[in-house]
Chain A
Amino acid sequence: MTGDNIEPIDEIQTDGFAFPAELPIKIKSRNVDVSYGDKQALFGVDLDIPANHVVALIGPSGCGKSTYLRCLNRMNDVIDIARVSGNIELDGVNIYDDTIDVVELRARIGMVFQKPNPFPKSIFDNVAYGPRIHGIANDKAELEEIVVTSLQKAGLFDEVKDRLGDSGISLSGGQQQRLCIARAIATRPEVILMDEPASALDPIATAVIEELIDELRQNFTIVIVTHSMQQAARVSQYTAFFHLGYLVEFGDTEAIFTNPTDKRTQDYITGRFG
C-alpha cells in the first residue's frame, strides 16, 4: 500500500557482511538522518534487524544509538525539535508513512526504558494497561490471562502472583524492570526495543534480565542499546557499533568483538575510548 513512494532499498553494504540468505528481515532502515534543531544526531544509517534475533547497539555516549532506537517506534515524534528523514520499514511498510497509526505502531513495537518506569498503579494494572487501551482482551478473563502470561514470560509471575494488587513501585529495581518488560509484552508486540534496560540494576538483577532477553528471542525481535560490551556479547547475535552519529560497523556479534574491521570499533571494544 505504501510501496509506491518508497525508494528502492539497496542491498546491505556494511563492509562485506551479509545475513544468511534465508534470514527474514523484520526492520529495514535506509539512510536515516535525525537532527535535533540545528544539531544532526544521526547520519545516513542503513541497518537491518533480522526477526527473532537480538541486535545490540553499542557505542560511546552521544553516538546516536538511543536516537536510532527511538526512531524505530517513532518516540522521537514527541520531541518538538526532532526531525527524522530516510526510510524505516517494518515488514516492508514504511513506518513514517502518513497512513501509519503511531498508536498501533507502538503497540507492535514495544519499548523498555533505561530506568524502570512502572506506572504508580497496581502490578496488574501496569500490565493490563496496554491491552485495555488497545482493546486486545474481549473480557475480564481474557485480560487476566494476558496479564498472567505476560508476567510469566517476563519471569516475574512467581514472585508477584500473591500481590498483583500491590503498587508496581513497591517492587525492587530488577522486578520493576521485568514488570516493564511484561507491560511491553502484554500488547503482543513483534519487536521489543530496550534502551539500556539493565544499566540501573545490580549484577544479579542484570543477569536475570539477560537470561530473560535470551528467552524472549523465541517470540520477539529484540533491539537492545547497551553500554556494556560484555552484555552485548552475552545477549546479542548481531551488533552495530555507532560512533558520532554514524553506523560504523555491523556484523555478527562474535566477529565484531573478536575481529572488528574498523579501527574505531577496535579502539572502542578494547577500551581506548568511550
Chain B
Amino acid sequence: MTDISSEISHNWASSNARSRISRRYRRDRWLRNTGVGAIVVAMGLLGILLTSLAFTGYVAFTTTKVKLEVFLDPAKVDRNEPGKASYRNLVREAFLANFPELKKRKNKREAIKILSSGAQYILRDKVMDEPELVGQTISVLLPLSDPFDQLYKGVVPRRINALARNRIASFESLKQRGLISVENGSSYLSLAIVVGPAILKNPKRGPLKKIMRRAFAELFSGETGRVNYKILSRDAVKILQARIRKDVNFAGDKLQVKLPISPIYDALNRTGKAEKLNPRFKSEKVLDLFDALVTRGMIASPFSWELFVNSDSRFPELAGLAGAFSGSLLALLVCFLISFPVGISAAVYLEEFAPKNKFSDFIEVNINNLAAVPSVVFGLLGLAVFIGFLGMPRSVPLVGGLVLALMTLPTIIVSTRAALKSVPPSIREAALGVGASKHEVVLHHVLPLAMPGILTGTIIGLAQALGETAPLLLIGMNAFIPSIENVGLLDPATALPTQIFTWGDSPERGFVSRTSAAILVLIGFLVTMNLLAIYLRQKFETKW
C-alpha cells in the first residue's frame, strides 16, 4: 500500500485554501438566506391577503339593526294562524310611529326604506315561533336595508365627490387666471365676448349660446381634451341676453361680461369642496330621519349570526352562508365516500399486487396526469356524463360530490401509494416470514402503518375539493338557495366557493364585505381541515 499523504500534501493555511473555505461558507449563508427570503415573501403575501380580507370583511360580522316596539294587535294577528297576518303593515306602522311628523305618502314610503325588506319575515318567524306573544307589545331588533347598514358601519359615505379630477383641474386653471370672482355670495366667470351688430340688435338665445360657448372654449385653446362647458351655469345665456339688452348702446365690439357658474362649481369655488348626496340615498330628509334614530339610541350593531344561520338572500343584510355550508358539506361527504375507498383500493392494487410492466406504468402515468387536469375539465365531464348521459338532476350535491370525487381520486391514489411505499419493507418481510398471506400483510400491517399518510393525503385532497369552484359552476351548483328547509343529496344546492363567486358578482355594496367574510369562513374551514390532518398524522404516526 502506498501512503497518499506523503505524495500529495494539502496546505490548509494557503490563501487559496482559505478563500475556498470562506467561499463555501458564503454559499452556505447564501442558500440559507435565499430560503429565509422566500419564506418572508410567501408569508408577507399571505399576510397581505388575509389582512385585506379581514379589513373588508370584518364589517360583515355585524348587522346594523333598529330596535322597534311592535304591538301585536290580536285584531290583526290571529293567535291560531299567526302566519296569515300582514306583518308588512305591522312593521311599517311600528317604524313610522317614530316619525309622527311624516304626513305625505311619498315621505313615508322613503322612510320605510331604511328598514330591510326582509324585516317583516323576521317578525313573522318570531311570532310563529312564539304565538303566545300575540296581544303584547314586543321589542324586536330588525335589520336595516343595505345602504343604511353600510352607512352606519362607515363603509359608504353620506356624500360623494360630485366632480371628477380633470373637471376640478379645468376650473382651477380658470381660477388661477383670475377669471373667477365672488359677488353677493355667488361666483362669476369673466368672459370677453365679441358680438356682431346683427346680434346686438336682436339678441336671440340660440346664437348667443353659440358665441358664448366659443368664447369659453377659447379660454382652453392651448389645452387638450374636452372643454368643460358645465362650468357655466344654465342661466348664463339668459344673463348674457339681459346684459346685451340693457347695454344696447355699448360701442366696442368686445363685451366683458360676468357670467354665473353652475352651483356645483360655485360650491367648489367658495368652500373648496364639491359634493353631492350619495345616490344610494333618496334624499337628505331620509338621512335626517336615520340620524334621528341614531341619536335616540335605537340603532345597534350586534354580532351577525345571520351570516352563519341564514341562507342566501337578494338583500345582503339578510344573506348568510348556511345554504352554502350544507351544500359543501354534502358534496364533500359524497366526494369522501367515493374517493376514499376507491382511491385506497386502486392504490393498494397498484402498489401491492400489480405486476411491474408497461401496462401498470401506463396506468401510473395516467393517474399522475389526471392529477394535473384542470378542474374545469372535470366539471365538463360531470356535465356530459352525470347530467347529460346518466340524466342526474342539475345543481345537486350528489353530482357535485361525484365530480369532486373524480378530481380528488388522483390526489388520494398518489398520496396513498406514497404512504404504502414508505412502509418499511422489513415489516412486510416480518409478516411474510411468519406465514401471513398477501391480504394479511396488507390489511394487518401495511395499511395501518400507511394510514396517517393516507389520511393526510385524503384531507388535503378534500380541502382542495372544498375550495373548487369551476366544476361546481359547470354543473350548476350555484343555485339560489333562500332556505335550508330542503337539504338533500338530490336538492338543488350551492357551495361555499360558488356562493363567494355569486356574491362577488352582486352589485349591492353589502355583498363586498359579505364576500370577504365568506372567504374568511372558507379559509377557516380549510385551516381546520389541515390542522386535523396534522393532528391525525401526529396521533397515528408510528415512531421507529
Chain A positions near chain B (C-beta within 8 angstroms): 73, 75, 78, 80, 102-107, 110-113, 115, 117-120, 129-130, 133-134, 169, 180, 183-184, 186-187
Q: With A120-B449, A120-B542, A169-B542 as known contacts, state yes or no: A130 contacts B429, CB within 8 Å.
A: no
Tell me whether B429 and A117 are in contact (CB under 8 A).
yes
B side interface size, CB within 8 A? 22
CB distance from A56 to the nearest CB of B (A): 20
Interface string of B430-450 (1 = CB under 8 A from A): 111111110010001100010
CB distance from A235 to the nearest CB of B (A): 20
Give the CA-CA distance A129 to B434 in the complex, in Å: 8
- Could you say which residues of chain A place their CB within 8 Å of the CB of B356? 80
Tell me whether A133 and B440 are in contact (CB under 8 A).
yes
Q: Pick from B430, B435, B440, B444: contact of A118, CB below 8 A.
A: B430
Tell me whether B430 and A117 are in contact (CB under 8 A).
yes
CB distance from B431 to the nearest CB of A (A): 7
Q: Return 17 A-B CB contacts under 8 Å, by A number.
A: A75-B432, A80-B355, A80-B356, A104-B435, A106-B432, A106-B435, A111-B429, A111-B433, A113-B426, A117-B426, A117-B429, A120-B449, A120-B542, A129-B444, A133-B434, A133-B444, A183-B434
Give the CA-CA distance A102 to B431 in the complex, in Å: 13
Q: With A113-B426, A120-B449, A133-B440 as known contacts, state yes or no: A184 contacts B542, CB within 8 Å.
A: no
The answer, yes or no, to whether B543 is at the interface (CB within 8 Å) is yes
The answer, yes or no, to whether B427 is at the interface (CB within 8 Å) is yes
- Could you say which residues of chain B place their CB within 8 Å of the CB of A103? 435-437
Q: 8 Å CB contacts to A: which residues of B402-432? A: 424, 426-432
CB distance from A81 to the nearest CB of B (A): 8
User: How would you classify the secondary structure of chain A's contact residues: helix, strand, loop or mixed?
Assistant: helix
Q: Between A and B, how many residue pairs show CB distances below 8 Å? A: 68
- Could you say which residues of chain A place their CB within 8 Å of the CB of B543? 169
The answer, yes or no, to whether B544 is at the interface (CB within 8 Å) is yes
CB distance from B420 to the nearest CB of A (A): 15
Interface string of B8-24 (1 = CB under 8 A from A): 00000000000000000
Tell me whether A75 and B433 are in contact (CB under 8 A).
yes
Q: With A133-B440, A169-B543 as known contacts, state yes or no: A119 contacts B433, CB within 8 Å.
A: no
- Could you say which residues of chain A place their CB within 8 Å of the CB of B435? 102-107, 130, 133-134, 187
- Could you say which residues of chain B place their CB within 8 Å of the CB of A129? 431, 434, 436, 444
Nearest-CB residue, chain B, relative to A113: B429
Q: Pick from A111, A119, A134, A184: contact of B427, CB below 8 A.
A: A119
Q: 8 Å CB contacts to A: which residues of B333-359? A: 355-356
Give the CA-CA distance A115 to B437 in the complex, in Å: 22
Tell me whether A130 and B426 are in contact (CB under 8 A).
no
Nearest-CB residue, chain A, relative to B430: A117
Give the CA-CA distance A159 to B78 in the complex, in Å: 82
- Of A107, A110, A133, A169, most buried by chain B (CB within 10 Å of CB) is A133
Give the CA-CA distance A115 to B427 in the complex, in Å: 11
Tell me whether A119 and B432 are in contact (CB under 8 A).
no
CB distance from B125 to the nearest CB of A (A): 56
Give the CA-CA distance A162 to B446 in the complex, in Å: 29
CB distance from A127 to the nearest CB of B (A): 10
Tell me whether B426 and A184 are in contact (CB under 8 A).
no
Tell me whether A73 and B436 are in contact (CB under 8 A).
no
Give the CA-CA distance A102 to B440 in the complex, in Å: 14
Q: Pick from B426, B434, B445: contact of A107, CB below 8 A.
A: B434
Known: A75-B432, A103-B435, A133-B436. 9 other contacts (CB 8 A): A103-B437, A107-B434, A111-B429, A111-B433, A117-B424, A118-B430, A169-B543, A169-B544, A180-B430
The 3 closest A-B pairs by CB, nearest first: A117-B426, A107-B435, A130-B434
Tell me whether B449 and A73 are in contact (CB under 8 A).
no
- Could you say which residues of chain A place their CB within 8 Å of the CB of B449? 120
Interface string of B69-102 (1 = CB under 8 A from A): 0000000000000000000000000000000000
Q: Pick from A80, A106, A115, A120: contact of B434, CB below 8 A.
A: A106
Give the CA-CA distance A181 to B542 in the complex, in Å: 22
Tell me whether B434 and A187 are in contact (CB under 8 A).
yes
Tell me whether B429 and A75 are in contact (CB under 8 A).
yes
CB distance from A125 to the nearest CB of B (A): 10
Give the CA-CA distance A106 to B441 in the complex, in Å: 13
- Could you say which residues of chain B place their CB within 8 Å of the CB of A102? 435
CB distance from A18 to the nearest CB of B (A): 32
- Could you say which residues of chain B place their CB within 8 Å of the CB of A180? 430
Tell me whether A184 and B434 are in contact (CB under 8 A).
yes
Q: With A80-B355, A115-B426, A119-B427 as known contacts, state yes or no: A106 contacts B544, CB within 8 Å.
A: no
- Of B434, B542, B544, most buried by chain A (CB within 10 Å of CB) is B434
- Of A102, A113, A117, most buried by chain B (CB within 10 Å of CB) is A117
Q: Pick from B433, B445, B542: contact of A106, CB below 8 A.
A: B433
Tell me whether A119 and B445 are in contact (CB under 8 A).
yes
Q: 8 Å CB contacts to A: which residues of B167-185? A: none
- Could you say which residues of chain B place their CB within 8 Å of the CB of A110? 433-434
Give the CA-CA distance A103 to B441 in the complex, in Å: 12
- Could you say which residues of chain B place their CB within 8 Å of the CB of A105? 435
- Could you say which residues of chain A place their CB within 8 Å of the CB of B424? 117
Nearest-CB residue, chain B, relative to A114: B426
- Could you say which residues of chain A place their CB within 8 Å of the CB of B434? 106-107, 110, 129-130, 133, 183-184, 186-187
